Chain A
Amino acid sequence: MIEIDIQKSFKNKNEQINFHFKTTIENNSINAIFGQSGSGKTTFLRLLSGLETPDIGYIKVNDKIWFDSKKKINLVPQKRDVGFVFQDYALFPNMSVIKNLRFAQQEKNENFLQELLEIVDLKELQNKFPNALSGGEKQRVALIRAVARRPKLFLLDEAFSALDYSMRQQLQDSIDKIHKSFKMTTLFISHDISEVYRLSSHIKIVKNGKIVKEGTPDILFDNSKISGKFKFSAKILKIKKADIVYIITLLIGNNLTKVVATKEEVNKLNTGDTILVATKAFNPIIII
């Protein structure tokens, strides 16, 4: 178990920003950090990895202290045993894919590297240099490079944001496979509800530098009454009046769909909102 209680304040122009993260993370769990940009998600991961230092507090990982301001303990990133996937991939341009991976290993284990390349389907590209890879390929290399030294804690900083839909799916598959194979405690930042649902067992919602809510991904919608069998997160693209009801056009995954809503319901909604659509699955039509 990882216990965290850390504080850090920044001065951003004239604004004083205070971050206070207090939470616990279960071993081998996969956690989503969810929140708007600027809420402090990246800072949280950087503080955990040691790339930034909290002002006060402690980080305890299975009774090993990584940081404690009272005891004046602060392990450098090198000693923290984390795997960090950066938003801009951060692959070393002077090394081929396989050399990037070898550089990451402490003890040489070529079989393990080949196994990783297999998982993310990059075996053929191992002698290519990063500048010859596509965005999705780079991201997958970054992913397995961070895994190559078998870290205790696996941190992904918005690993998905620069990728298109099918690449995201592929990367999510990779993360899922990696987690199933190696069971590392994983924290990933995401803006995307479907991603959070698909990958994570726990979610932490960050707002203004604090973790305001945590639990299973269902807490995103704070609606325990729903018992529907089909649940989808959807983005509202259009709200249109049709006679006495309203037609809402929704984007679910990459599919468009339309649902009806009453005036009272529509009053609470705006285009661009993310909502949960649920239906009881009494008689679905299944087309194969």
Chain B
Amino acid sequence: MRTAKQRVVGALWVLLLTGLITACDEENPPVIRMASTTSLDNSGLLDVLLPRFQQESGIAVRVLAVGSGQAIRIAERGDADLIFVHHPEAEHNFLAGGFGTQRYPVMYNHFVLLGPDTDPAGIRDAPSVEAAFLAIARQRSPFISRGDQSGTHMAERALWKSAGHQPRGGWYREVGSGMGATLQMAVAQSAYTLSDPATWLAFKRPGELEILLGRKAGMRNVYSILPVNPGRHPHVKYKYVMRFIDWLSGDAGQQLVRNFRPRGEQAFSLLPAE
């Protein structure tokens, strides 16, 4: 019996050690951690880019898909090597705080204002997104806000501010969720919501919501990469991060972004290198 017991204990130790080894062998091949917005991950773009980059460079990019606000805070703590986000104001603060080395704008698209095709607030022909927001507020039509400090949430708050209205009341629902979950709630409640177009393309189901407004002033949505400053966090793999940025701004990367067409529609437009 003694031996049987010892055997069990031995097997358990082996199990524990394999668990710990799994934890430790991540450095071969080299691995960098990218804190990125959920929209890039959910849209499927990263699934196109990262395997190709790994194939060509031998560098694996691990993605923490969170809201832009959280991505920036993760990087400030030194828990990521780079961020790929869409919240210019917070990005500039990130640089000003000495957390990043530089801001590399990569691509852009335009946010879309979605709603039920019955369009109870009549925003389809609104002259501006601010006018549309005010119409929704006046009608007290249900509007779902991300409420999670993400880039999309911050863009939405900026648009309310520029409309000069502080949304408040039962019709304005802050859900504190990612874009996918928010879209589902908007569908379920026949509500208006602001979305990035890439997630919308990846998620939309026929006959649920419609794009009622897009491509208006203030709806431009720029995605940038910011490497974490190795002067601030010496353990970050700055060299590999720069390899990724060079690759993405080179022919191979640019072509993949340009040809990324979920459901046949262009999701991102490239920005000229600065």
A binds B: no
Interface residues, chain A, with chain B CB atoms under 8 Å away: none
